[in-house]
Amino acid sequence: MSYVALDLTGVDQRQVSSRPDLVPADPDARRELARVVAFDAVVYGLPAAYQYAQMCRQDRDSGQEPGQLVHERHLARSGFAAFRVPNVDTLYSNAWLDLRGGPVVVDLPDFGDRYFTLNLLDAFGNASNISRRTVGDARQVWLVPPTGTWEVPATAAGLRVGSELMWVLMRVQVRGQGDEAEVHRLQDAVVLRRPDAPGGVAGRVGPERAVVPIDPDDLATDWVAFFQALDGALRLAGIPAEDVVLVRRFALLGLTGAEDFAPERLGPEVRAGAAAGFADAIRLLDACRPQLGEPVASGWTKVCDKGAHGANHLNRAVMNHVGLAANVVEENTSYNTYADGDGRPLDGATTRYEVRLETPPPAGAFWSVTLYDGEGLLVDNPIDRYAVGSALPGLVVDPDGSVTIAIGADDERGDPNWLPCPRGRFFLVLRIYQPGPEALSGAWLPGPVCPVAPVSS
């Protein structure tokens, strides 16, 4: 931004009014203002609302105390519902931590040369990581709240995080069939605890918290559920000080006050405007799905600024609407495409495709190409395969070093690198774990998705 930012602390003219902002008396104007404010609230707060709903689901379904890691024991497959666009390369573990009472200590086992990361997400989807890249061989990491002063021991690594409610999403690489038991051992060896409770548990998200039974599946269609989740999230997590001017406008919607969000306390015009603004915002986010990142010459889009959004609230909202918990590009460089190399939507009902990678992706750990339906869900298929990549048993590499992936609703040719797709729209995500310099710089690019034959009628 080219405008000069002024620090107006102590300036006489900047007195703060003790009264709330004006609300139009005219019903039509009040409805329109509510629509605009609700639209802004969705764009601003979607990551927080979606994360809160996931936390509510885990709290309801896991049977474990908040603050404990809940482990997925099997790779994601068709029916995986924890969040959209999951990878199928690592086992996930989730925990939500309350840092209002001070730091949380993470004790790590020795992962050897196996890829792992604890993706740390603040309430707005901004990410940092505990990984070999960030902490080296450290076996103890302190997660420090955004405010206050805390002394981290010299023997530990310390990371200051961006909100008082913190989502920890751990990913541990699975190295083929028969390896899950070893990954389970490593998952169980990661301990979250308070500094004064060695071997203990990080603690409840808050003993006074009453979890609202919010279904994450409702948040893209139900404005009441969305704003209930947003209110719950911001009460636990807090907001950045620089966002106060924006967030205080949400009071018109029954947010920000001493009492929890209750739509029945809103007037009919505000209710109608809030519902309309919510619907408008979701339509906008859906329309912007294909714009995440920078298009490259081969038709793919390189996903940029994952987990590093700053004040780009719309980009942040679209990315989290498509799928929560995107990791930073330094940890996982990724590309996606909804279209073939000529710009036509990918559609397994009409076409068979190929993707040729002239050289395998430059990955320090591994790479994969995963297929999802139009909603970001894994697609049921007869061979239980959701990705093709360097970890695929029997992956065929061509004599010139290239890899060709066949994509279709059925395997007419018996291709060992077949990636099944639905008879309908789908999209692809290429992930490069521990990306090399060529991946980070863009010197390496994936080949286009090429139509090779129409689907037999």
- For the cut 90, the answer to whether the pLDDT of residue 67 exceeds it is no
Residue 174's pLDDT is 95
More confident residue, 406 or 99: 406
- For the cut 90, the answer to whether the pLDDT of residue 82 exceeds it is no
Please report which confidence band the pLDDT of residue 140 belongs to, taking 50, 70 and 90 as the band edges.
very high
The fraction of the chain above a pLDDT of 70, given in percent, is 96
What is the per-residue pLDDT across 421-443, written as a single tens digit (0 to 9) for each? 999 999 999 999 999 999 999 99
Beta strand 140-144 with 387-389 is unpaired
What is the per-residue pLDDT across 241-295, written as a single tens digit (0 to 9) for each? 999 999 999 999 999 999 999 999 999 999 999 999 999 999 999 999 878 789 9
Mean pLDDT of 65-81: 88
**CATH code of the domain made up of 67-193:** 2.60.40.1610
Please report which confidence band the pLDDT of residue 448 belongs to, taking 50, 70 and 90 as the band edges.
very high
pTM: 0.86
**Residues 6+ positions from 431 with CB-CB distance below 8 Å:** 87, 89, 332, 333, 334, 367, 368, 370
Please report which confidence band the pLDDT of residue 357 belongs to, taking 50, 70 and 90 as the band edges.
very high
User: For residues 266 and 272, what is the distance between their CA atoms, to the nearest angstrom?
Assistant: 10
In the numeric block, which tokens belong to residue 71?
A: 């482990």
- For the cut 90, the answer to whether the pLDDT of residue 299 exceeds it is yes
What is the per-residue pLDDT across 172-212, written as a single tens digit (0 to 9) for each? 999 988 899 999 999 999 999 988 876 656 555 443 454 66
Please, what is the average pLDDT of the chain?
91
- Phi/psi at 329 (nearest 5 deg)? -65, -30
Burial class of residue 385 in the structure, from the number of CB atoms within 10 Å of its CB (0-12 exposed, 13-18 middle, 19+ buried): middle
Architecture of domain 293-454: Sandwich (2.60)
Weakest-pLDDT range from 322-326, 426-430, 450-454: 322-326
User: Could you write out the DSSP letters of every residue in 178-221?
Assistant: T-HHHHHHHHHH-EEE-TTSTTS----S-TT-------GGGTTT
Return the SS3 of 189.
helix
More confident residue, 290 or 45: 45
Please report which confidence band the pLDDT of residue 446 belongs to, taking 50, 70 and 90 as the band edges.
very high
User: For residues 327 and 1, what is the distance between their CA atoms, to the nearest angstrom?
Assistant: 26
User: For residues 29 and 269, what is the distance between their CA atoms, to the nearest angstrom?
Assistant: 9
Number of C-beta neighbours around residue 153 at 10 A: 11
- Structural domain boundaries in the chain: 27-51+213-287, 67-193, 293-454
User: To which H or E segment does residue 453 belong?
Assistant: strand 449-454
What is the per-residue pLDDT across 361-392, written as a single tens digit (0 to 9) for each? 999 999 999 999 998 999 999 999 999 999 99
In the numeric block, which tokens belong to residue 286?
A: 């859906």
